[in-house]
Amino acid sequence: MAGRGRSRGALALTVALAGALGPVGCTPALSGEHPPPLQNAAPAPADTHSDRVGVLLLDQGATRSCTASVVDSPGHDLLVTAAHCVTDAGGTPVTGLVFAPGYRDGGTPLGEWTVDKVVVDPRWSDNADPEYDVAFLTVGPAAGRQIEDVVGGNPIGVNRGFGLAVTITGYPYDHEEPITCSTTTTAQSSTQERFDCGGFSDGTSGSPWLTPDGSVVGVIGGYQQGGDTPDISYSVSFDDRVSSLYRQATA
C-alpha cells in the first residue's frame, strides 16, 4: 500500500500526474484481527494548540495530503511531518506543497504558506528506510509574516524514552476539522513508538505527538508508514537522528 494509506504520498503524486487523482485507503481489517481500541479520537477544539496543526495541500491547494505542524526554529518558518508525505516513489521531494494551519470546513482561516524546502535523511531518500520517516519543511512568509509569528511553534523533544503521555492531533480525509486523542506511548521497537487510539485513518500521517509541556516527540509515520489500521499508530522515536535532521533544516 503506497503512502501507507494515511497519506496520498507518492501514490497521489503519481496518479495526479496521470490526471486522475483518486482516493487512497487502507484495506479494512478483517473482523477479529485485533480488538477494538479502548478509546477513540474526538474533534479537536479550535485553540492555540490545534492552530499549529494543519494540512499539506498538493496541486496548488486543490488536493489534501498529510498533516503537518509548526515547530519552533530560529527562522520561525519550520514544519515537521512524515517523510513519506513529502517525497515521491524515488525519494525526491515533492514540489508545489502548501501548508494551511488550522484548516476547518474546507477553509484556511489562518492563511496558506508555500513550502520552500523539504529536508529528509538520505537513508529515507535512498531506501525509504522506515527508521527515518521524518521530514522538516521550511515555508516562506505569507502577507509578510513568518508562520511561527502567527500561530506559534512547538519545540522538538528528543531522547524522552517510552511511556510518554501524549496528545495527537491530525486530519483524516473524511473530516473537515482535526481530531485529537490523549494517550500513552509504548515501544514498538527500540527505535519506534506506538499509541493506540481509534480514528487516525487516511490523511493523519505526519500528525504531531505532543507531551504535556508542548514538545513534539513523534509524528505518525515510521513502521508501516504509520500503521495499517486507524486504531494503532507509530512513529520513529525522536532521538539523535531527528536532532541531526533538525540541525540540517535550520542551518
Domains for the chain: give ranges and CATH numbers: 47-153+243-250 (2.40.10.10), 165-239 (2.40.10.10)
- Total number of residues shown for the chain: 251
Q: Does the pLDDT value for residue 65 go beyond 60?
A: yes
Tens-digit pLDDT profile for residues 95-148:
999 999 999 998 999 999 999 999 999 999 999 999 999 999 999 999 999 999
Tens-digit pLDDT profile for residues 72-102:
999 999 999 999 999 998 999 999 999 999 9
Residue type, 215: S
Tens-digit pLDDT profile for residues 16-48:
322 322 333 223 333 345 677 779 999 999 999
The SS3 call for residue 235 is: strand
pTM of the model: 0.88
Q: Is 19 exposed, middle or buried (0-12, 13-18, 19+ CB in 10 A)?
A: exposed
**C-alpha cell of residue 242:** 531527528
Q: Does the pLDDT value for residue 10 go beyond 80?
A: no
